[in-house]
Amino acid sequence: PLRVLNKTRFITPSIMHYVRNHGACPKLEWDTDTLLVGGDVPRPMELTMDEIASTLPAREIPVTLVCDGNRRKEQNMLRQTVGFNWGAAGVGTNVYKGPTVRDVLLRAGISSDPATWRGFHVEFIGIEDLPNKIGPGPFEKKWGDKVKYGTSVPLARAMNPAYDVMLAYQANGQFLQPDHGYPLRLIIPGYIGGRMIKWIKELNVIPHMTENHYHYHDNRILPPHITAESAIQLGTWYKPEYIFNELNINSAITQPDHNETIEIQPNIGKEYELAGYSYTGGGRMITRVEITTNAGINWHTCELHRFEQPTDYGMYWCWIWWSFRIPIVDLISTDEIWARAWDESNNTQPFRPTWNLMGMGNNQCFRVKVHKSL
Amino acid sequence: PLRVLNKTRFITPSIMHYVRNHGACPKLEWDTDTLLVGGDVPRPMELTMDEIASTLPAREIPVTLVCDGNRRKEQNMLRQTVGFNWGAAGVGTNVYKGPTVRDVLLRAGISSDPATWRGFHVEFIGIEDLPNKIGPGPFEKKWGDKVKYGTSVPLARAMNPAYDVMLAYQANGQFLQPDHGYPLRLIIPGYIGGRMIKWIKELNVIPHMTENHYHYHDNRILPPHITAESAIQLGTWYKPEYIFNELNINSAITQPDHNETIEIQPNIGKEYELAGYSYTGGGRMITRVEITTNAGINWHTCELHRFEQPTDYGMYWCWIWWSFRIPIVDLISTDEIWARAWDESNNTQPFRPTWNLMGMGNNQCFRVKVHKSL
């Protein structure tokens, strides 16, 4: 819940980190689990966990993970999506440790010359057998077939050292929790959590985007007029432009808490501290967070609490926390408090939501209602 | 004007490319002009144009340049900014050719190891002497002093081969026009045009952001409550978070043209083709363009005309053009046509503008009014 995130702020205890799995958590052992590296690589390999942890250089960085459905509840209030409700707490930050996918691929013989990457993708596949819930698409999966959870990213993304795509075996200095992908999980900083395959079993270099069922039938933002029926009729699931990979900019107010009360009379000369988080995708820095108490006519600039240092490549992979001290007397004339962030591309959060079938990427200005009683 | 851009679409003839200079165009000669490479580099150099063109590998790619004040006219209609009016035609695309800044810096002895880049910036300085129009800041420029036009980017950005920061001596297969920076101009794909120094004379590696007057007093997006007076009083010009570097997402409708008329009666069964451009910053792909004829209640998905191939690193540095065939009968009930784009981060254009003192980065949904007469 938001009150926990508000308490722990920058680094989320692993035990408090949100969990979203598509099936039951598999029981895997460090000593017997392996990673298969295959496809169009000169040297296919099967790596044990000991080999991954002891023979490849490790990277250790904090990364904010966000469920694609963070704040989906608000979309469901407009019109039911195909997804269940999430509030604004589908997000957390851990310090992840593990080798980069680049280093794994270099060992498998992939060239470091970008001209050789064009057209190729790296496919990542988890270990679980999951139901194919949508049914047949163009890739010959039969209705009811069991499928693996998987995705792919362009080889150029995985090989670009600036992006820190990595295979994590530790979070916050400890081995992963089973629910977070023990023993090995894919981390793609700046992407949605739904692409960060847990219990990862296979990594293949392939000459096209993966045909994995979940790559196409999950983690998509479709145009607002597309319904469950028309998406199937029109083949919209298979259009690459509607993939949801890189996070859009978002914020939430975590203080005040839900149903928190403030007595006006004894505090009339004091200030109340509003607080919350903001994040964005692609390694961009959050540059500004603003709140408004009059629906966007005036905006106040919040104080930013930036805990993260950028990487050597200048990337920011974590949320920031912000605060704003509002005079309590101002709350008397306030019906709603809104928050929005800006990033270094000068993109910001929209005023209004755009409904989409999966209810993903919901990021309009976060609003808290203020109720007054005598 | 927009009608020219609409006619030439993807590649803008150099002679038609928008021009925004801060002073008179200097008269420089290929044979005598040189570039000084200095600051904290192991091997300072003075390069002639012949050396730049013949001894360094050349990169040749199309890049869309956008004036920071593109669409500023709409901001000035809300409240006068410190900038003059631009419509939506402050944008153009040329194929630029020249060495990357990375290759120049490698020759000057800068390491390719990212760990050595941290904290450093590359300062770029033009040749002209320009008036210091704002007055003294913290960097000891006296009121009325002549200053150079300059900027800096993080060394990590300049050295990252994915970003294609380059020194161009050709556009569209010909030497640069004098007004576009002959003989040498900085190109930073995905950034605003205002950072792409023309008639570039110096390139320095320095251990901090540049203190150049124009780096601080120009090309900024300040929070909406900041005025010309308070910006000076509060020192807002010097806050690094308000720099405008990476372009935000934007679109314009270029067809219909201003004051274009359509006779309804004889065309009632036909369609009219709407068209326009969209661009975004940071190498992100435009994934979707939509139009609405009812102020955002319904959106129609446009057809995208993508001419550019992504780079080896998967970057998109150019605008796309789009079209939508609307039944002419629908125009009868239409008061305004709006357009907005989405990029691969699922960021989109806001409904409403956010005024800012310099009137930069204006990118709310582009609106065309439809006037009907009997």
- Binned at pLDDT 50, 70 and 90, residue B25 comes out as very high
pLDDT of residue B151: 97
Sequence-distant contacts of B35-39: CB under 8 A, at least 24 apart: B35/B167, B35/B184, B35/B200, B35/B201, B35/B202, B35/B203, B36/B201, B36/B202, B36/B203, B37/B104, B37/B105, B37/B108, B37/B202, B37/B203, B37/B204, B38/B202, B38/B203, B38/B204, B38/B205, B39/B123, B39/B204, B39/B205, B39/B206
Helix (H) or strand (E) holding B356: none
Measure B48 CA to nearest chain A CA, in Å: 30
pLDDT of residue B232: 87
- Binned at pLDDT 50, 70 and 90, residue B7 comes out as very high
Q: Which of residues 253-312 of B touch A (CB under 8 A)?
A: 280-282, 284-285, 287-288, 290, 296, 298-301, 304, 312
**Per residue in B161-211, pLDDT tens?**
999 999 999 999 999 999 999 999 999 999 999 999 999 999 999 999 999
By CB atoms closer than 10 A (0-12, 13-18, 19+), residue B71 is: buried
Contact B282 A345 (CB under 8 A): yes
Nearest C-alpha in A relative to B310: A118
- Binned at pLDDT 50, 70 and 90, residue A132 comes out as confident
A230 and chain B in contact, CB less than 8 A: no
**Per residue in B310-330, pLDDT tens?**
999 999 999 999 999 999 999
**Per residue in A202-218, pLDDT tens?**
999 999 999 998 998 89
The fold for domain B250-369 equals Immunoglobulin-like (2.60.40)
Q: Which of A19-23, A219-223, B256-260 has the lowest mean pLDDT?
A: A19-23
- Binned at pLDDT 50, 70 and 90, residue A156 comes out as very high
What is the strand order of the sheet B174-175 is part of? B59-66, B91-98, B170-171, B174-175
Superfamily of domain B2-242: Oxidoreductase, molybdopterin-binding domain (3.90.420.10)
Predicted complex ipTM: 0.94
By CB atoms closer than 10 A (0-12, 13-18, 19+), residue A356 is: buried
Mean pLDDT calculated for residue range A266-280: 97
- Neighboring chain B residues of A302 at a CB cutoff of 8 Å: none
Mean pLDDT calculated for residue range A162-181: 97
Q: Say if strands B271-279 and B320-327 run parallel, antiparallel, or are unpaired.
A: antiparallel
**Per residue in B222-238, pLDDT tens?**
999 999 999 988 989 98
Measure A314 CA to nearest chain B CA, in Å: 6
B230-to-B233, B237, B239 alpha-carbon distances in Å: 5, 10, 13
pLDDT of residue A146: 86
Answer whether A102's CB lies under 8 Å from A165's CB: yes
pLDDT of residue B133: 67
pLDDT of residue A131: 81
Query: In degrees rounded to 5, what are phi and psi of residue A277?
Result: -120, 160
The mean predicted confidence, pLDDT, of chain A is: 94
pLDDT of residue A262: 93
B216-to-A182, A337, B2, B358 alpha-carbon distances in Å: 49, 32, 31, 12
Contacts of residue A152, defined as CB under 8 A and 6 or more positions apart, other chains included, come to A121, A122, A123, A124, A206, A209, A210, A212, A215
Q: List the single best residue of A292, A347, A358 to mutate versus B (max B Cβ within 10 A).
A: A347
Whether residue A317 has pLDDT greater than 70:
yes
**Per residue in A319-342, pLDDT tens?**
999 999 999 999 999 999 999 999
The percentage of chain B sitting over the pLDDT mark of 90, rounded to a whole number, equals 88
pLDDT of residue B217: 87
Mean pLDDT calculated for residue range A330-355: 96
- Neighboring chain B residues of A282 at a CB cutoff of 8 Å: 282, 284, 345
Mean pLDDT calculated for residue range B334-354: 96
Give me the residue from B115, B242, B249 closest to A347, CB to CB. B249
Answer whether A155's CB lies under 8 Å from A121's CB: yes
Top pLDDT among B134 and B279 is at B279
The mean predicted confidence, pLDDT, of chain B is: 94
Mapping DSSP to helix (H, G, I), strand (E, B) and coil, where does residue A138 land? coil
Contact B352 A242 (CB under 8 A): no
pLDDT of residue B127: 95
Contact A288 B241 (CB under 8 A): yes
Measure A9 CA to nearest chain B CA, in Å: 22
pLDDT of residue A1: 85
Domain ranges of chain A: 2-242, 250-369
Whether residue A114 has pLDDT greater than 80:
yes
Whether residue B68 has pLDDT greater than 70:
yes
What residues are paired with A151 via a beta bridge?
Answer: A124
Contact B288 A241 (CB under 8 A): yes
Top pLDDT among B203 and A238 is at B203
Whether residue B134 has pLDDT greater than 80:
no
- Binned at pLDDT 50, 70 and 90, residue B135 comes out as low
Q: Which amino acid is at A297?
A: I
A246 and chain B in contact, CB less than 8 A: yes
